[in-house]
């Protein structure tokens, strides 16, 4: 006798609709197709014990089980329920016609109770399900799916196998889950009572650099002595970010559940601060027998990944960030295929200038030798430093004399106004077709001169161009009448080039002198056209 039901197959980080078919005939063997024998052994052991607990006989005869499309994962506990329903149909305990239009999701306990596994909570189904399917799960659809593909589906609450079988036979009616929009119950973003962005003592250019980093999602590297506000600057960037959307919030919850981190929906951008001893798997994610486990990078999606004491991280962790920071995708390769994890986060790394942390400090003397300083700084290699668009230096000093007056950009010192500017610029960058950006001949000439002077790569030139574009949109387009064209002039290029401190060959040599080099006025002469 042939019976067929539907289940959910986990493939990497996604899920898909699968068909579970059982054919029972004379004999005494079990054949499997589309599912590993190891996974089937564990499932059948649980299913047979459940049948005995619920009063049903053990299925006899030759059983052929087919799951299509093919699955090779060893952990398939979420297929316990559809396999059990198919077996009961083949035994005549359930009317066969009742199961063909059903989607069953859940793991069976030995007493017959149904629960969701960590693999299925929540899932992301990339295809629309047939409308005629009735979904049987122990929890509502909002707790399982992260998209709206099942908004019109009927979801019945199935907490135990016996009531489920009685419902399929028409002897009982299971309660219906009424779909609720979980996004309406989200944690909403509110302005903090005490804002670090407003309280922190920063110069005009440092503060503007933080807003530019948040508006353009530019990876930022902050170097300075202990106590100069590096970690606070990272939190300031997080305060400036706008609220995340519903899709991103559900994705963040989904990856958090993969690490068994129970969390609700929140529009507050994530702020992840992994320890320097975090492994590469903990930082980027990994695949094991239970499925895909997200790393700190994916959990920071839509927010900030703060890497405090960046040189103290493992060398493999530092170098493994090269491609994800550039492509915004983490690719994990295994023998049975590859898995792609999202990484659309702003990376803010902080570092001391030397092992003791007081190199270039005006008030405290550095005890490190030149060799120790060089070995410490070599942990931040050239390829990884080029992935950081903005390089900032911090020190305990008064603002430079050549900085612009506060009245030029009064919104720069208000968190509410700065957040509005960041959100406005991000909207303009996403819809770049609505505004035309032009480069002046002076700005192009200055950029070419600076690139030739420091032997810039194409990646570095592209980074400077993106920073100049963000700076132009912030300064010229914010709080002004709508314009169809934005010109990038010499000031925008100068600002962008002054944030590339690692490109200066004498940066560390100057730090050994008694005078502190002002930021960033010393490079202004290099930009004269």
| Residue in this structure with the two tokens 């009063």, named with its chain if needed | 55
What tokens were used for 188?
């909403």
Pairing assessment for the beta strands 14-25 and 2-11 based on DSSP bridges = antiparallel
**Does 135 lie in the same domain as 21?**
yes
Going along 385-493, which residue ranges are E strands?
A: 390-394, 436-439, 485-488
CA–centroid distance for 496 within its chain: 27
What tokens were used for 504?
């200066």
**Does 171 lie in the same domain as 210?**
no
Cα angle 108, 114, 120 (rounded to 5 degrees) comes to 85
Check which CATH number belongs to the domain holding 129 and give it: 3.30.230.10
Determine the pLDDT at residue 213: 94
The answer to whether residue 190 is domain-embedded is no
**Phi and psi at residue 6, in whole multiples of 5°?**
-125, 145
Higher pLDDT, 129 or 298: 298
- Comparing 92-96, 142-146, 294-298, 380-384, the range with the smallest average pLDDT is 142-146
> How confident is the model over 67-110, as pLDDT tens digits?
887 765 556 777 888 889 888 888 888 877 777 788 888 888 88
pLDDT at 396 over 50: no
Q: DSSP 3-state assignment of 300?
A: coil
Q: Exposed, middle or buried, 196 (CB in 10 Å: 0-12/13-18/19+)?
A: middle
Give the predicted TM-score (pTM) of the model.
0.75
The answer to whether residue 463 is domain-embedded is yes
Residue that finishes a domain, picked among 180, 214, 229? 180
The answer to whether residue 489 is domain-embedded is yes
- Residues ≥6 apart with Cβ < 8 Å to 289: 73, 74, 75
CA distances for 131 relative to 64, 86, 293, angstroms: 29, 21, 31
What tokens were used for 34?
């589309």
Determine the pLDDT at residue 405: 47
The answer to whether residue 354 is domain-embedded is yes
Task: Assess contact for 341 and 294: CB atoms under 8 A.
Answer: yes
Number of neighbours of residue 92 by Cβ within 10 angstroms: 11
Cα angle 197, 229, 426 (rounded to 5 degrees) comes to 40
To the nearest 10 degrees (0 to 180), the angle between helices 415-430 and 458-472 is: 120
**Does 223 lie in the same domain as 130?**
no
pLDDT at 350 over 90: yes
Hey, which of 8-17, 115-124, 307-316, 483-492 has the most confident mean pLDDT?
A: 307-316
* Percentage of residues in the chain having pLDDT higher than 70: 80
What tokens were used for 205?
């250019």
**Does 202 lie in the same domain as 174?**
no
The answer to whether residue 58 is domain-embedded is yes
> How confident is the model over 199-255, as pLDDT tens digits?
888 888 889 999 999 999 999 999 888 888 899 999 999 999 999 888 888 888 877
The answer to whether residue 24 is domain-embedded is yes
Task: Assess contact for 184 and 355: CB atoms under 8 A.
Answer: no
Residue that finishes a domain, picked among 149, 180, 211? 180
| Residue in this structure with the two tokens 């005629």, named with its chain if needed | 132
Q: How far apart are CA 287 and CA 252, in angstroms?
A: 18
Work out the average pLDDT over 337-356. Answer: 88
Determine the pLDDT at residue 222: 92
The mean pLDDT of the chain is 79
**Does 211 lie in the same domain as 169?**
no
Pairing assessment for the beta strands 337-342 and 329-334 based on DSSP bridges = antiparallel
**Does 156 lie in the same domain as 237?**
no
pLDDT at 272 over 90: yes
The answer to whether residue 52 is domain-embedded is yes
Ramachandran class of 309: left when φ > 0, alpha when ψ lies in -120 to 50, beta otherwise: left
Q: How far apart are CA 382 and CA 378, in angstroms?
A: 8
Check which CATH number belongs to the domain holding 307 and give it: 3.40.50.300
**Does 202 lie in the same domain as 156?**
no
Task: Assess contact for 306 and 272: CB atoms under 8 A.
Answer: yes
The answer to whether residue 191 is domain-embedded is no
List the beta bridge partners of residue 338.
Answer: 333
Quote the number of domains for the chain: 2
CA distances for 238 relative to 112, 247, 389, 430, 477, angstroms: 47, 19, 17, 19, 23
**Does 251 lie in the same domain as 168?**
no
**Phi and psi at residue 112, in whole multiples of 5°?**
100, -5
pLDDT at 146 over 80: no
**Does 372 lie in the same domain as 314?**
yes
pLDDT at 279 over 50: yes
Determine the pLDDT at residue 515: 35
Determine the pLDDT at residue 131: 63
- Per-residue pLDDT band for 407 (boundaries 50, 70, 90) equals very low
H/E stretch holding 318 reads: helix 315-319
Higher pLDDT, 17 or 322: 322
Write b or e for each residue in 110-138: b if 16 or more Cβ atoms lie within 10 A of its Cβ, otherwise e: eebbbbbbbbbbbbebeeebeeebbbbbb
Structural domain containing residue 69: 2-180
Pairing assessment for the beta strands 220-224 and 346-351 based on DSSP bridges = parallel
**Phi and psi at residue 73, in whole multiples of 5°?**
-80, 145
> How confident is the model over 196-213, as pLDDT tens digits?
888 888 888 889 999 999
Q: How far apart are CA 357 and CA 348, in angstroms?
A: 18
- Per-residue pLDDT band for 468 (boundaries 50, 70, 90) equals very high
**Does 163 lie in the same domain as 252?**
no
CA distances for 524 relative to 468, 497, 518, angstroms: 15, 9, 11
Determine the pLDDT at residue 137: 84
**Does 173 lie in the same domain as 207?**
no
Q: How far apart are CA 472 and CA 489, in angstroms?
A: 8
Determine the pLDDT at residue 307: 94
Residue that finishes a domain, picked among 129, 151, 180? 180
Does the CA dihedral 479-482-486-489 come out positive or negative?
Answer: negative
Q: Where are the alpha helices (DSSP H) in 27-175?
A: 37-54, 80-91, 161-168
**Does 66 lie in the same domain as 38?**
yes
């Amino acid at each position: 006798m042939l019976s067929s039901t539907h289940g959910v197959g986990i493939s990497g980080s996604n899920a898909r609709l699968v068909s579970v078919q059982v054919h029972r005939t004379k004999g005494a063997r079990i054949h499997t197709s589309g599912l590993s024998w190891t996974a089937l052994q564990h499932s059948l052991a649980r299913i047979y014990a459940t049948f005995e607990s619920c009063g049903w006989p053990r299925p006899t005869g030759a059983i052929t089980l087919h799951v299509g499309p093919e699955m090779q994962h060893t952990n398939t506990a979420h297929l316990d329920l559809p396999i059990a329903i198919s077996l009961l149909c083949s035994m005549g305990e359930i009317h066969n016609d009742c199961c063909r239009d059903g989607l069953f999701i859940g793991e069976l306990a030995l007493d017959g109770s149904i629960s969701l596994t960590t693999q299925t909570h929540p899932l992301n189904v990339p295809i629309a399900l047939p409308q005629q399917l009735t979904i049987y799960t122990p929890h509502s659809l909002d707790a399982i799916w992260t998209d709206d593909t099942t908004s019109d589906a009927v979801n019945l609450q199935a907490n135990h196998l016996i009531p489920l079988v009685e419902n399929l036979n028409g002897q009982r009616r299971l309660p219906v889950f009424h779909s609720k929009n979980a996004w309406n119950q989200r944690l909403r973003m509110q302005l903090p009572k005490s804002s670090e962005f407003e309280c922190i003592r920063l110069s005009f250019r440092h503060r503007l650099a933080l807003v530019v980093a948040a508006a353009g999602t530019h990876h930022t590297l902050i170097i300075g002595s202990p106590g100069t506000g590096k970690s606070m600057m990272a939190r300031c960037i997080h305060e400036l970010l706008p609220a995340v959307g519903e899709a991103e919030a559900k994705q963040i919850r989904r990856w958090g559940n993969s690490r068994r981190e129970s969390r609700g929906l929140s529009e507050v951008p994530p702020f992840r601060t992994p320890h320097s001893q975090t492994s590469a798997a903990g930082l980027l994610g990994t695949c094991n027998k239970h499925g895909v486990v997200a790393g700190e990078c994916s959990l920071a999606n839509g927010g900030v990944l703060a890497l405090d004491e960046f040189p103290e991280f493992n060398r493999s962790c530092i170098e493994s960030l090269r491609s994800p920071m550039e492509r915004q995708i983490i690719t994990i390769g295994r023998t049975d295929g590859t898995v792609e994890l999202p990484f659309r986060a702003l990376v803010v790394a902080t570092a001391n200038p030397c092992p003791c942390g007081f190199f270039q400090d005006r008030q405290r003397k550095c005890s490190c030798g030149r060799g120790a300083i060089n070995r410490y700084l070599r942990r931040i290699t050239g390829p990884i430093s080029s992935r950081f668009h903005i390089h900032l230096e911090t020190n305990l000093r008064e603002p430079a004399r050549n900085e612009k007056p506060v009245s030029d950009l009064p919104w720069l010192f208000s968190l509410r106004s700065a957040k509005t500017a960041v959100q406005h610029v991000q909207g303009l960058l996403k819809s770049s077709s609505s505004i035309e950006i032009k480069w002046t001949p002076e700005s192009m000439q200055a950029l070419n001169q600076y690139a030739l002077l420091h032997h810039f790569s194409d990646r570095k030139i592209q980074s400077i161009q993106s920073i100049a574009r963000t700076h132009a949109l912030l300064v010229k387009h914010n709080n002004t009448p709508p314009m169809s064209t934005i010109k990038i002039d010499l000031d925008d290029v100068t600002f962008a080039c002054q944030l590339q401190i690692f490109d200066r060959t004498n940066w560390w040599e100057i730090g050994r002198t008694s005078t502190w080099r002002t930021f960033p006025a010393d490079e202004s002469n290099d930009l004269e056209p």
